[in-house]
Amino acid sequence: MSESGTSPKIQTTIETGDEDRRDAPLDARETVIETRDLDVYYGNEQALDGVSMEINEHDVTALIGPSGCGKSTFLRCINRMNDMIDVCRVEGDVEFAGKNVYDDDVDPVALRRKIGIVFQKPNPFPKSIRDNVAYGLKIQGYDGDVDERVEESLKRAALWDEVSGQLDSSGLELSGGQQQRLCIARAIAPDPEVILMDEPTSALDPVAASKIEDLIDDLAEEYTVIIVTHNMQQAARISDRTAVFLTGGQLVEYDDTAKIFEDPEEQRVEDYITGKFG
Amino acid sequence: MATEESTSDGLGRSTALRLQHLKGRLFEVALVAATLVGIVSLLALFAQISIDAFQPGSASPTWFLVYLGTLVAPTAAFTLYARRRPAVRETNAKAFAAVFGGLLLSFVTYAVVDSLSPYDVFTYVFFTSLPPAIVVAYDRTTDDRTFTGPAIPASIVVGLAVAALLYDVVRGPIGIAAEWIMYFGLVTVPAALLIGTLTASRRGRRSGVVAGGSVIVGGLAVAVASIVTGTNAAFPVVLFSAFVVPTGYVLWRSVRTDPEGRVGVAGPFVLLGGTLLGAAVVGQFGIQNPDTFLTPTLLLESWDGLRANNAGVYPQIVGSIIIVGFMAVLAFPVGIGAAIYLEEYAPDSGLRGRLATLLEINISNLAGVPSVVYGLLGLALFRRTLGFGTGIVFSAAGTLGLLILPIVIVSTQEALRAVPDALRQGSYGMGASRWQTLREVVLPEAIPGTLTGTILALARAIGETAPLVIIAVATTKYSPPSGLFSSATALPLQIFAASANAKPEFRHGVVPAAAVVLLILMLLMNATAIVIRNKYGREH
Amino acid sequence: MSSESNETASLQRSGFVVRKERLYGRLIAACAVLTIVVTVGIILALSGRALSFWSQISPIAYFTGTSWSPVIAQNYGVLPLISGTLIVTVCSAVIALPIGLAAAVYLSEYASDKARSILKPSLEILAGVPTVIYGYMALVYITPAFKGVFPSLRTFNALSASIVVGIMIIPMVSSISEDALSAVPDSLRQGGYGLGSTKFDVSTKIVVPSATSGIVASYVLAISRAIGETMAVTMAMGMSPQMPYFPDLFRNLAESGQTITAAMVQIANADSLGTGPTYEAMFALGMTLFAITLTMNVFAELVRRRFREEY
């Protein structure tokens, strides 16, 4: 039943993905993030093992794999959120726009202003909706019209219609799905170049999740989106390219989403996608 | 070049970001300064008070050199040596606790019993411990233990009542015996029982009897030796039973069971030996001692408001200890009981749930009531309602007990809350009742936390002054209180009263010395609490 | 048949065990209820005598009188004592509230585990030192030291008293605020860093605002503690009640004064114990003090309960 129910959907997404690709041929897209031989250790435990990967501008790139495979670790390496974990050690290169983000002269604060992140569990600050969205602008010393940017961001996060009348009420009063869209609005308000999403829909109900998925599709027009998900159908629906991580923190296969889901090179990937493993 | 490049990327530190980071760093420095300012100013004041009390300026430089050589250097060297080796460090800490704990126990026991009269203490202790002892003995011989649990506290109450009734009859005959026999009964017999039980549990019944018996024989030998040499046997008996025996037992066991750390046992003896050696050298060569006010006179004499070199705070120290000790007897059972009710029994909802919420709010409010108001409560309760005399030990202990009750309750609640629910479920799953679960599983787990809280409450109580002033506890007293209904006195009160004395040898001498004694008592208690917390706190 | 009844009997509760359990339950419940008795006792003990006092001295004269001189002039105006209490409270709050909050932020957001394990107990010692020793240190060390800087300082003055009271209430602010700051979920900090915040931004713009109610509660409790503080102010500030001086505000600090609590100690210390309006005035003062601190404590507790449920 699930087979017949899902496969057409995968089909359509793959088609749209292919259309996109036809519109903008692969070599016309620039690589925005490139990792080379990325190893990450938590203490003595290795979480990522020699990951090399190129991520294209304005792509939606999905990272999938069983839990504990290192996909979230990889995501958090990109904007150096792992710096906050004392035992975490990173080796190898992560290049953003041609610059290794682990170079000494790179300020993680500046980096994160270019590469925003949305977390698994919605985490709005206990402030008003307006202040939540304006927070990033405030700390970055934005000197334009804040209200205008707040409105614009909320519109882009498809939340404006629902909250336009209650901008001064607390962000914690919203429903879970609304909170997550608020967090997305908050992340895009300072206009980053890349948005990282760490399983953004896994704490939400299916209706709220589908709204976020639609949103991600729109966001890809302006931003590069990298999304970690454990939901393979979601990856198939929304992403242009998919990276499969398997246990041990290895990147096993990375290709166009259509290729990964229809004809993966690796047997292990096929096993994982068809549910034989993981 | 590289910097320029990175700035153009926007990933390096732009000027604005640099400023933000600078602001952040300054902020952190300000936070550190704020955290330290209180601690540092207090340390500076402590230094002032210790200098006044100790008068280090009056000692000759040689004096410092002598003690540096005999005391400071060896102790420091030994401590450094021990710090590197965990096993040695642990044994060292244990040895320190055993030696100084044993010494403190002996002095406190002797001083308290001496001021309350050993005959009275013996009479009451004898009558209150005999009935529960009989119950426990019965408990060993029978299988039906339904009644023995509640019978123990009940028999204690009965014993206390019997003691009060028979006091006039019994006190006369008991008074015929020599004083040291009282101490023998009060300290040596319990020590023998303790050592006997511990040994029996490890090495069988026969060894236990031998060990206990040898403690008894040893105590008798000490008494006989003192009588032969013509000294009062009381204190030697106490010192033997409360210091030599338990400390010796602990040290001997460390040496036997822990070959790696056994060197650590030497720690306290390096310190004591250094002190004695230093004193001997100083005496031998006539080196100028400091004109310190921290003297045996201060600890052992009573206060003479006229001449500083005669002034002592012995009655006040013993008074404080008696008040705080009796306070603990009154307040701890009630406080722990209340905490158990709130954490383990009180339901979350319904009428009784609301009562529990009310109780919780009430307790946190009681913790915030100024101590001086508790003084008024004590005044009204003990003096007006119960008609007790002015400023007696009972009223002082009761007043302070009410004052620390919320502290005891809150800290015990925290300790109980820290016990994982899985343990309770496990116990219930085995068919244990609520009380059995509490007694066998929850309370043993919560003991360290409870102990920490109660010791901190004791430390708070020993420095408390305002309520004692309000219930009119006497400041000038030449002997420690002789019973629960005799008039009390306390160390902080003496400091308060003497602060008005503007003579320099008082203002910058004896009073700071008395304050140092009070501070040491309070810091010792705090340190004990912190050590217990750090030792057991990490388990959950 | 008989074996069946035997089995059911073994599943039934033994009457005595049930009664024993119930007895223990009642005993410890009684311990808990005793705390209510204490509160009621305080209120009864205070109100009886205080009402008797107010039946002799009119409450209007008590609450509006500007002179407190119970023994000499039989004046029972509480305003000078309230003024003294306010001066000490405000000045000690000026010292302790920012310092305590800064220490809390440091301990919760910046300090390493090692630094915390040393600093936290050290800060707690500040509240553990007997207040009589604080009073002595203020009188004998702080005042002479400050006299060099401010020659107009009296031997007994509000400045030294405020400083030591400020020091002793720092831990009240820092430990309760730190609890509130630590209760802020880590996901909020992560969210802040993810938006490119510096640690400064996360601490001051996210964590501290999120913990506002806990911080407010700690402030109220610390102020309430300062109002009730007795020995240090009695010893360092003296026994001469004063109305506040205007406009020379510093004079309020340099001069001696008397707080509500110090006036109670003075009455208790006097020889004539037991009767008369002066003795009963002590209970009226206690009632005043209790009402003020109780209101503040209830307020703090309510604020605190609210913040516990927030996230």
Tokens standing for residue B311: 């002034």
**pLDDT computed for residue A4 by the predictor:** 40
Any chain B CB within 8 A of the CB of C152? no
Backbone angles phi, psi at B500, to 5 degrees: -75, -15
Cα C25 to Cα B290: distance, rounded to the nearest angstrom: 60
Who among C45, C230, C296 is closest to B466 (CB)?
C230
Using the predicted structure, report yes or no on whether residue A12 has a pLDDT greater than 60: no
Q: Do B341 and C139 touch (CB under 8 A)?
A: no
In B117-263, at which residue ranges do the beta strands (DSSP E only) sit?
Answer: none
Indicate the residue of C187, C193, C198 with minimum beta-carbon distance to A84: C193
- Given the cut 0.85, state whether the ipTM is greater than it: yes
Contact A75, A196 (CB under 8 A): yes
pLDDT of residue C303: 85
DSSP one-letter code for A55: E
Please report the residues numbered 121 through 150 in chain C whose beta carbons come closer than 8 angstroms to any beta carbon of chain B.
121-126, 128-133, 135-137, 139-142
Residue A275 confidence (pLDDT) above 90: no
Contacts of B375 in chain C (CB under 8 A): 264, 268
Residue C271 clears pLDDT 70, i.e. is over it: no
DSSP 8-state secondary structure symbol assigned to residue A127 = S
- C-alpha distances in angstroms, B185 versus A178, B13, B115, B118, B339? 76, 78, 17, 10, 35
Picking from B1, B5, B8, B9 by the largest number of A CB atoms within 10 A of its own CB, the best residue to mutate is B9
Overall residue count recorded for chain B in this entry: 540
The predicted structure's pLDDT at residue A8: 41
Confidence of residue C272 (pLDDT cuts 50, 70, 90): low
The count of CB pairs under 8 A between chains B and C is 273
Tokens of B231: 């000294």
Instruction: Sort out which chain C residues have CB atoms less than 8 A from B464's CB and list them.
Output: 130
Cβ contact B237:B188 at 8 Å: yes
Q: What local confidence, expressed as pLDDT, does residue A15 receive?
A: 42
For residue A205, give how far its alpha carbon lies from the nearest alpha carbon of chain C (Å). Answer: 20
Q: How far is C303 from chain B (nearest CA, A)?
A: 12
Query: Given B334, B377, B499, which is nearest C135 (Cβ)?
Result: B499
Three-state SS annotation for A68-114:
CCCHHHHHHHHCCHHHHCCCEEEEEEEEECCEECCCCCCCHHHHHHH
CA distance between the termini of chain A: 21
The end-to-end CA distance of chain B, in Å, is: 54
Rounded-to-integer distance, Cα A8 and Cα A14, Å: 10
Flag the least confident range among A190-199, B147-156, C246-255, C289-298: B147-156
Q: Are A126 and C197 within 8 A, CB to CB?
A: no
Is some CB atom of chain C closer than 8 A to the CB atom of B14? no
Interface probe for A, chosen from C109, C181, C195 (most Cβ of A below 10 Å), is C195
**Cross-chain Cβ contact B6/A103 below 8 Å:** yes
Please give the full DSSP string across B400-446, using - where no structure is assigned: HHHHHHHHHHHHHHHHHHTS-HHHHHHHHHTT--HHHHIIIIIHHHH
| SS3 assignment for A136-203 | HHHHCCCCCCHHHHHHHHHHHCCCHHHHHHHCCCEHHHCCHHHHHHHHHHHHHCCCCCEEEEECCCCC
- Choosing among A107, A109, A121, A195, which should be mutated to test the C contact, i.e. which has the most C CBs within 10 A? A109
C272 near B CB under 8 A: no
CB contact under 8 A, A186 and C198: no
CA proximity to B234, closest of B288, B298, B183, B175? B183
Residues of chain C in contact with residue B368, where contact means CB-CB under 8 angstroms, are 221, 224-225, 228, 293-294, 296-297, 300
Is A141 in CB contact (< 8 Å) with chain B?
A: yes
Confidence (pLDDT) at B520: 93
Tallying the residues shown for chain C, one arrives at: 311
Contact B11 A107 (CB under 8 A): yes
Count the neighbouring beta carbons within 10 Å of the beta carbon of residue B353: 12
Which of A32, A105, A115 would best serve as a mutation to test chain B binding (most B beta carbons within 10 A)?
A105
Question: Token pair for residue C140?
Answer: 């004998």
Mean predicted confidence (pLDDT) in C59-64 = 91
CB-based contact, A111 to chain B, within 8 Å: yes
**Structure token digits, residue A83:** 């710096």
- Residue C232 touches partner B, C-beta closer than 8 Å: no
Between vectors from CA B402 to CA B396 and to CA B408, what angle results, nearest 5°? 120
For an interface test with C, the pick among B373, B390, B403, B434 (most C C-beta atoms closer than 10 Å) comes out as: B373
Nearest chain B residue (CA) to A141: B16
Cβ separation of A84 and C191 shorter than 8 Å? no
The residues on B that touch A, with CB distances below 8 Å, are 2-3, 5-6, 9-14, 16-17, 20-21
CA distance B184 to B190: 9
The count of other CB atoms within 10 Å of the CB of residue B439 is 14
Stretches where chain B sits below pLDDT 50 are: 1-8, 540
Residue A21 — very low, low, confident or very high, per pLDDT cuts 50/70/90? very low
Q: Which residue matches tokens 């306390």?
A: B490
Which amino acid is present at B46?
F
Q: Does A106 touch chain B (CB under 8 A)?
A: yes
**And the tokens for B478?**
């030449």
Whether the CB-CB separation of B526 and B459 falls below 8 Å is answered with yes
Residue B366, chain C, CB below 8 Å: the answer is yes
- Report the chain A residue with the minimal C-alpha distance to residue C198: A109
**Which residues does chain A have within 8 Å of residue B1's beta carbon, measured at their own beta carbons?**
none
**Closest Cβ–Cβ partner in B3, B10, B21 for A105:** B3
DSSP assignment of B88-122, as one string?
HHHHHHHHHHHHHHHHHHHHHHHHHHHHH-HHHHH
Q: For chain B, list the contacting chains (3+ Cβ pairs, <8 Å).
A: A, C
The pair of three-digit structure tokens given for residue A160, joined into one six-digit string: 């404006």
| B466 in reach of chain C (CB within 8 A) | yes
The least confident of B127-136, C132-141, C265-274 is C265-274
Res. C246: pLDDT tops 90:
no
C299 in contact with B, Cβ within 8 Å? no
Q: Do A110 and B14 touch (CB under 8 A)?
A: yes
Cβ A139–C194 below 8 Å, yes or no? Answer: no
Provide, as residue numbers in chain B, all residues whose Cβ is less than 8 Å from the Cβ of C198. Answer: 20-21, 24
Of A99, A106, A141, the CB nearest to B16: A141
Count of residues in chain A = 278
A101/B21 Cβ within 8 A: no
Identify which of A84, A126, A139 has the shortest CB distance to residue C196: A139
User: What is the pLDDT at residue B165?
Assistant: 87
- Interface check for C199 against chain B (CB to CB < 8 A): the answer is yes
Contact B410, C175 (CB under 8 A): no
Chains A and B form CB pairs within 8 A to the count of 37
User: Touching check for B16 and chain C: CB below 8 Å?
Assistant: no
C-chain CB neighbours of A125 within 8 Å are 188, 191-192, 206, 209-210
* pLDDT(A3) > 60: no
SS3 A33: strand
Is the domain defined by B308-539 classed in CATH 2.60.40.420? Answer: no
Q: In chain A, what residues touch B14 (CB-CB under 8 Å)?
A: 110
